[in-house]
């Protein structure tokens, strides 16, 4: 009899990951809403946020897929890689470009240092928590599949 499969993420960690992402997005949007900027500047910073969220998730997926594929390839040399080098490069380049656009915009903005620090801190929270949410979502899906297989097999 095999030992019972246990979930990798607790409910508290899953909830904390989603809460951190939601709180980061809310605080960032609240800061943009309360800022006395032109609409095009607000749109620029919102686009930077969405680009960083999407590319953070894509980069985390690529890194994890490549690590798992490397492990599977050592066992089976014919294993097909899930990500092409072009997709890996685009995900990483997109993340770098997103942060570069964000930092260049902040560097050239006439804000006080504490305002710049606020936006940097919230953007790092958003990026980190987006990675956490992607990890939790993927782990939970894999855990559910493993538990379903275990229940079917007895």
Residues 28-47: tens digit of each pLDDT: 999 999 999 999 999 999 99
Are 99 and 128 contacting, i.e. CB atoms less than 8 angstroms apart? no
Q: Is residue 75 part of a domain?
A: yes
| Residue whose tokens read 């409910």 | 11
Domain that holds residue 91: 24-136
Q: Is residue 2 part of a domain?
A: no
Q: Is residue 145 part of a domain?
A: no
Q: Is residue 8 part of a domain?
A: no
pLDDT for 38: 93
Q: Is residue 148 part of a domain?
A: no
pLDDT digits (tens, 9 = 90+) for 116-151: 999 999 999 999 999 999 999 999 888 888 888 877
What is the domain count for the chain?
A: 1
Q: Is residue 82 part of a domain?
A: yes
Tell me 107's DSSP state.
H
With 60 as the cut, is the pLDDT of residue 26 above it? yes
Q: Is residue 15 part of a domain?
A: no
* CA distance readout (Å), 135 to 9, 10, 61, 74: 10, 13, 8, 23
Q: Is residue 154 part of a domain?
A: no
């Amino acid at each position: 009899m095999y030992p019972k499969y246990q979930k990798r993420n607790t409910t508290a960690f899953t909830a904390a990951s989603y809460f951190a992402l939601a709180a980061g997005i809310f605080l960032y949007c609240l800061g943009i809403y309360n800022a006395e900027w032109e609409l095009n500047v607000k749109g620029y910073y919102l686009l930077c946020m969405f680009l960083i969220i999407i590319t953070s998730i894509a980069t985390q997926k690529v890194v994890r897929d490549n690590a798992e594929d490397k492990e599977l390839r050592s066992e089976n040399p014919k294993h097909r890689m899930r990500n092409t080098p072009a997709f890996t490069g685009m995900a990483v380049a997109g993340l770098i470009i997103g942060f570069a656009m964000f930092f260049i915009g902040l560097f050239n903005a006439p804000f006080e240092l504490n305002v710049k620090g606020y936006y940097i801190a919230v953007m790092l929270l958003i990026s980190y928590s987006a990675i956490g949410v992607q990890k939790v979502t993927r782990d939970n899906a894999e855990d559910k599949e493993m538990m379903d297989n275990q229940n079917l097999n007895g």
